Amino acid sequence: MEEGIKTAWRRWRERGTWEDPQRKYRTLLSFSETEEDGGKDLVRAARRVADPELRTHLERHAADEIRHAAIFRERAASFAAEHGLAAGTGDSPDRPYDLSGARPGLELDAHGFFNAGLVDELGELEYVAMLHVAERKAAELFTTYRDLNADDPDTREVFESILRDEKYHVAYTGTFLDRWRREGRGPEVDKALGEAKDSRMWSAWKRLGMRSAAGFAHVVLFVLYWTLLLPFGLFARLRELPAGWQDPRPLPEPARRGGEY
Protein backbone atom coordinates (compact mmCIF):
# COMPACT_ATOMS: atom_id res chain seq x y z
CA MET A 1 0.00 0.00 0.00
CA GLU A 2 2.73 2.43 1.05
CA GLU A 3 4.83 1.54 -2.00
CA GLY A 4 1.83 2.17 -4.26
CA ILE A 5 1.35 5.62 -2.74
CA LYS A 6 5.05 6.44 -3.23
CA THR A 7 4.88 5.33 -6.87
CA ALA A 8 1.75 7.39 -7.53
CA TRP A 9 3.33 10.44 -5.90
CA ARG A 10 6.49 10.02 -7.98
CA ARG A 11 4.47 9.78 -11.19
CA TRP A 12 2.54 12.94 -10.36
CA ARG A 13 5.69 14.84 -9.33
CA GLU A 14 7.73 13.88 -12.40
CA ARG A 15 5.00 14.13 -15.04
CA GLY A 16 5.80 17.77 -15.78
CA THR A 17 9.42 16.92 -16.58
CA TRP A 18 8.44 14.60 -19.39
CA GLU A 19 5.63 16.77 -20.77
CA ASP A 20 7.91 19.80 -21.28
CA PRO A 21 10.19 19.21 -24.32
CA GLN A 22 13.01 21.42 -23.06
CA ARG A 23 13.05 19.84 -19.61
CA LYS A 24 12.80 16.38 -21.13
CA TYR A 25 15.83 17.09 -23.30
CA ARG A 26 17.86 18.38 -20.36
CA THR A 27 16.83 15.42 -18.24
CA LEU A 28 18.02 12.93 -20.84
CA LEU A 29 21.35 14.75 -20.92
CA SER A 30 21.56 14.65 -17.13
CA PHE A 31 21.06 10.87 -17.16
CA SER A 32 23.91 10.60 -19.64
CA GLU A 33 26.20 12.53 -17.28
CA THR A 34 25.21 10.44 -14.27
CA GLU A 35 25.69 7.13 -16.06
CA GLU A 36 29.07 8.24 -17.39
CA ASP A 37 30.22 9.30 -13.92
CA GLY A 38 29.13 5.96 -12.53
CA GLY A 39 30.92 4.04 -15.29
CA LYS A 40 34.22 5.83 -14.65
CA ASP A 41 34.03 5.12 -10.93
CA LEU A 42 33.23 1.45 -11.55
CA VAL A 43 36.29 1.14 -13.81
CA ARG A 44 38.45 2.45 -10.96
CA ALA A 45 36.78 0.13 -8.47
CA ALA A 46 37.26 -2.94 -10.69
CA ARG A 47 41.03 -2.32 -10.68
CA ARG A 48 41.17 -2.29 -6.89
CA VAL A 49 38.94 -5.13 -5.64
CA ALA A 50 40.62 -8.38 -4.62
CA ASP A 51 37.77 -10.78 -5.48
CA PRO A 52 38.17 -11.82 -9.15
CA GLU A 53 34.48 -12.69 -9.51
CA LEU A 54 33.43 -9.31 -8.17
CA ARG A 55 35.95 -7.67 -10.48
CA THR A 56 34.33 -9.35 -13.48
CA HIS A 57 30.89 -8.08 -12.48
CA LEU A 58 32.17 -4.55 -11.86
CA GLU A 59 33.84 -4.48 -15.28
CA ARG A 60 30.58 -5.53 -16.95
CA HIS A 61 28.67 -3.01 -14.83
CA ALA A 62 31.08 -0.26 -15.89
CA ALA A 63 30.62 -1.14 -19.56
CA ASP A 64 26.83 -1.03 -19.09
CA GLU A 65 26.95 2.44 -17.52
CA ILE A 66 29.15 3.86 -20.26
CA ARG A 67 26.87 2.35 -22.90
CA HIS A 68 23.83 3.81 -21.13
CA ALA A 69 25.48 7.24 -21.20
CA ALA A 70 25.84 6.98 -24.97
CA ILE A 71 22.23 5.79 -25.37
CA PHE A 72 20.85 8.71 -23.35
CA ARG A 73 23.06 11.19 -25.18
CA GLU A 74 21.97 9.89 -28.58
CA ARG A 75 18.30 9.96 -27.61
CA ALA A 76 18.67 13.52 -26.28
CA ALA A 77 20.18 14.64 -29.58
CA SER A 78 17.46 12.91 -31.59
CA PHE A 79 14.73 14.36 -29.40
CA ALA A 80 16.19 17.85 -29.78
CA ALA A 81 16.21 17.47 -33.56
CA GLU A 82 12.62 16.17 -33.58
CA HIS A 83 11.35 19.18 -31.61
CA GLY A 84 13.59 21.88 -33.04
CA LEU A 85 15.44 22.42 -29.78
CA ALA A 86 18.89 23.95 -29.60
CA ALA A 87 21.08 20.96 -28.84
CA GLY A 88 23.94 21.63 -26.49
CA THR A 89 25.57 20.43 -23.34
CA GLY A 90 22.72 21.45 -21.03
CA ASP A 91 24.32 24.03 -18.80
CA SER A 92 21.57 23.71 -16.18
CA PRO A 93 20.16 20.22 -16.64
CA ASP A 94 17.32 18.78 -14.62
CA ARG A 95 18.70 15.91 -12.59
CA PRO A 96 15.82 13.82 -11.17
CA TYR A 97 18.12 10.85 -10.73
CA ASP A 98 20.85 12.98 -9.21
CA LEU A 99 19.82 12.70 -5.57
CA SER A 100 22.43 15.15 -4.43
CA GLY A 101 22.24 17.93 -6.98
CA ALA A 102 26.03 17.73 -6.82
CA ARG A 103 28.42 19.27 -9.26
CA PRO A 104 32.20 18.80 -9.68
CA GLY A 105 34.05 20.02 -6.61
CA LEU A 106 31.15 19.50 -4.19
CA GLU A 107 31.03 16.95 -1.43
CA LEU A 108 28.70 14.47 -3.16
CA ASP A 109 29.10 12.48 -6.33
CA ALA A 110 26.57 12.20 -9.17
CA HIS A 111 24.87 9.25 -7.50
CA GLY A 112 24.25 11.19 -4.29
CA PHE A 113 26.91 9.59 -2.09
CA PHE A 114 29.75 11.27 -0.26
CA ASN A 115 32.73 11.40 -2.58
CA ALA A 116 35.58 10.09 -0.41
CA GLY A 117 37.70 7.65 -2.37
CA LEU A 118 34.83 5.20 -2.69
CA VAL A 119 36.09 1.62 -2.82
CA ASP A 120 39.48 2.50 -1.29
CA GLU A 121 37.84 4.47 1.49
CA LEU A 122 34.73 2.33 1.96
CA GLY A 123 35.93 -1.21 1.37
CA GLU A 124 34.53 -3.86 -0.96
CA LEU A 125 31.47 -4.78 1.12
CA GLU A 126 30.46 -1.18 1.73
CA TYR A 127 31.00 -0.28 -1.90
CA VAL A 128 28.79 -3.12 -3.11
CA ALA A 129 26.11 -2.13 -0.58
CA MET A 130 26.25 1.43 -1.92
CA LEU A 131 25.88 0.14 -5.49
CA HIS A 132 22.95 -2.06 -4.47
CA VAL A 133 21.04 0.87 -2.97
CA ALA A 134 21.80 3.12 -5.95
CA GLU A 135 20.80 0.52 -8.55
CA ARG A 136 17.55 -0.34 -6.78
CA LYS A 137 16.66 3.35 -6.75
CA ALA A 138 17.61 3.69 -10.41
CA ALA A 139 15.43 0.72 -11.34
CA GLU A 140 12.45 2.26 -9.52
CA LEU A 141 12.91 5.64 -11.16
CA PHE A 142 13.51 4.27 -14.65
CA THR A 143 10.37 2.14 -14.38
CA THR A 144 8.37 5.28 -13.60
CA TYR A 145 10.01 7.23 -16.43
CA ARG A 146 9.39 4.41 -18.89
CA ASP A 147 5.69 4.48 -18.04
CA LEU A 148 5.52 8.28 -18.23
CA ASN A 149 6.86 8.09 -21.81
CA ALA A 150 4.09 5.84 -23.11
CA ASP A 151 3.39 8.37 -25.89
CA ASP A 152 7.08 8.46 -26.92
CA PRO A 153 8.04 4.93 -28.09
CA ASP A 154 11.69 5.81 -28.73
CA THR A 155 12.31 7.23 -25.26
CA ARG A 156 10.27 4.45 -23.69
CA GLU A 157 12.44 1.86 -25.45
CA VAL A 158 15.57 3.55 -24.10
CA PHE A 159 14.36 3.07 -20.54
CA GLU A 160 13.12 -0.44 -21.30
CA SER A 161 16.53 -1.56 -22.58
CA ILE A 162 18.40 0.06 -19.69
CA LEU A 163 16.05 -1.49 -17.14
CA ARG A 164 17.15 -4.94 -18.27
CA ASP A 165 20.69 -4.05 -17.24
CA GLU A 166 19.55 -2.43 -13.98
CA LYS A 167 17.90 -5.70 -12.95
CA TYR A 168 21.22 -7.47 -13.43
CA HIS A 169 23.03 -4.81 -11.40
CA VAL A 170 20.58 -5.21 -8.51
CA ALA A 171 20.82 -9.01 -8.75
CA TYR A 172 24.60 -9.37 -8.70
CA THR A 173 25.13 -6.85 -5.89
CA GLY A 174 22.39 -8.58 -3.90
CA THR A 175 24.05 -11.96 -4.50
CA PHE A 176 27.35 -10.75 -3.06
CA LEU A 177 25.62 -9.21 -0.04
CA ASP A 178 23.79 -12.51 0.58
CA ARG A 179 27.07 -14.41 0.30
CA TRP A 180 28.70 -12.20 2.91
CA ARG A 181 25.70 -12.73 5.16
CA ARG A 182 26.14 -16.49 4.92
CA GLU A 183 29.81 -16.03 5.77
CA GLY A 184 28.81 -14.46 9.08
CA ARG A 185 29.13 -10.81 8.05
CA GLY A 186 25.43 -10.02 8.41
CA PRO A 187 25.92 -7.12 10.85
CA GLU A 188 28.46 -5.54 8.47
CA VAL A 189 26.04 -5.89 5.56
CA ASP A 190 23.17 -4.35 7.52
CA LYS A 191 25.34 -1.47 8.68
CA ALA A 192 26.64 -0.79 5.17
CA LEU A 193 23.14 -0.80 3.68
CA GLY A 194 21.91 1.50 6.42
CA GLU A 195 24.74 3.95 5.87
CA ALA A 196 24.17 3.92 2.10
CA LYS A 197 20.47 4.67 2.57
CA ASP A 198 21.25 7.39 5.11
CA SER A 199 23.63 9.02 2.65
CA ARG A 200 20.90 9.17 0.03
CA MET A 201 18.29 10.28 2.55
CA TRP A 202 20.57 13.11 3.76
CA SER A 203 21.02 14.31 0.19
CA ALA A 204 17.26 14.25 -0.38
CA TRP A 205 16.67 16.01 2.94
CA LYS A 206 19.07 18.83 2.01
CA ARG A 207 17.30 19.32 -1.30
CA LEU A 208 13.93 19.33 0.46
CA GLY A 209 15.27 21.95 2.86
CA MET A 210 16.37 24.18 0.00
CA ARG A 211 12.99 23.84 -1.72
CA SER A 212 11.16 24.41 1.56
CA ALA A 213 13.25 27.50 2.34
CA ALA A 214 12.39 28.99 -1.05
CA GLY A 215 8.71 28.20 -0.57
CA PHE A 216 8.73 29.62 2.96
CA ALA A 217 10.30 32.84 1.70
CA HIS A 218 7.54 33.21 -0.88
CA VAL A 219 4.90 32.72 1.81
CA VAL A 220 6.51 35.29 4.11
CA LEU A 221 6.73 37.88 1.33
CA PHE A 222 3.09 37.25 0.40
CA VAL A 223 1.93 37.72 3.99
CA LEU A 224 4.05 40.85 4.47
CA TYR A 225 2.67 42.40 1.31
CA TRP A 226 -1.00 41.93 2.22
CA THR A 227 -0.73 42.66 5.95
CA LEU A 228 1.92 45.37 6.09
CA LEU A 229 3.04 46.90 2.81
CA LEU A 230 -0.33 47.13 1.07
CA PRO A 231 -2.26 48.76 3.98
CA PHE A 232 0.52 51.31 4.57
CA GLY A 233 0.66 52.04 0.86
CA LEU A 234 -3.08 52.71 0.76
CA PHE A 235 -2.85 54.88 3.87
CA ALA A 236 -0.05 56.91 2.31
CA ARG A 237 -2.08 57.45 -0.86
CA LEU A 238 -5.05 58.73 1.17
CA ARG A 239 -2.82 61.35 2.78
CA GLU A 240 -1.30 62.55 -0.50
CA LEU A 241 -1.72 66.31 -1.20
CA PRO A 242 -3.77 67.21 -4.27
CA ALA A 243 -1.81 67.86 -7.42
CA GLY A 244 -1.01 71.42 -8.62
CA TRP A 245 -0.02 74.67 -6.93
CA GLN A 246 -1.14 75.01 -3.34
CA ASP A 247 -1.35 78.23 -1.32
CA PRO A 248 1.21 78.25 1.47
CA ARG A 249 -0.13 77.48 4.86
CA PRO A 250 -0.19 80.55 7.22
CA LEU A 251 2.60 80.59 9.73
CA PRO A 252 1.59 80.48 13.37
CA GLU A 253 1.56 83.80 15.24
CA PRO A 254 4.85 84.04 17.08
CA ALA A 255 4.67 84.15 20.84
CA ARG A 256 5.34 87.60 22.24
CA ARG A 257 7.99 87.96 24.89
CA GLY A 258 7.99 91.29 26.67
CA GLY A 259 6.41 93.06 23.67
CA GLU A 260 9.15 91.91 21.31
CA TYR A 261 8.97 89.62 18.37
Query: In this structure, what CATH number is given to the domain that contains residue 177?
Result: 1.20.1260.10
Q: Residue 46 is part of which domain span?
A: 2-221
Residue 125 falls inside a structural domain: yes
Helical spans, DSSP H, in 87-152: 119-122, 124-148
Residue 242 falls inside a structural domain: no
Looking at residue 105, its pLDDT comes to 37
Q: Report angle CA 202, 206, 207 to the nearest 5 degrees.
A: 120
Residue 251 falls inside a structural domain: no
Q: Which helix (H) or strand (E) holds 52?
A: helix 52-82
Centroid of chain to Cα 129: 21
Mean pLDDT of the chain: 78
pLDDT per residue over 7-41, tens digit each?
677 677 778 889 999 999 999 999 999 999 889 88
CB-count exposure of residue 68 (10 Å: 0-12, 13-18, 19+) = buried
Main-chain phi, psi angles of 55, to 5 degrees: -60, -40
Mean pLDDT value across residues 62-70: 96
Mean pLDDT value across residues 187-192: 96
Looking at residue 20, its pLDDT comes to 92
163: confidence class by pLDDT, cuts 50, 70, 90: very high
- Considering only residues 141 and 95, tell me which one the structure prediction assigns the higher pLDDT: 141
Question: Torsion angle of alpha carbons 66, 72, 73, 77, nearest 10°?
Answer: 160
Residue 199 falls inside a structural domain: yes
Residue 108 falls inside a structural domain: yes
pLDDT per residue over 75-96, tens digit each?
999 999 999 987 664 444 454 4
Residue 255 falls inside a structural domain: no
* Count of domains forming the chain: 1
Residue 253 falls inside a structural domain: no
- Considering only residues 141 and 2, tell me which one the structure prediction assigns the higher pLDDT: 141
The DSSP code for 183 is I
Looking at residue 122, its pLDDT comes to 83
Residue 35 falls inside a structural domain: yes
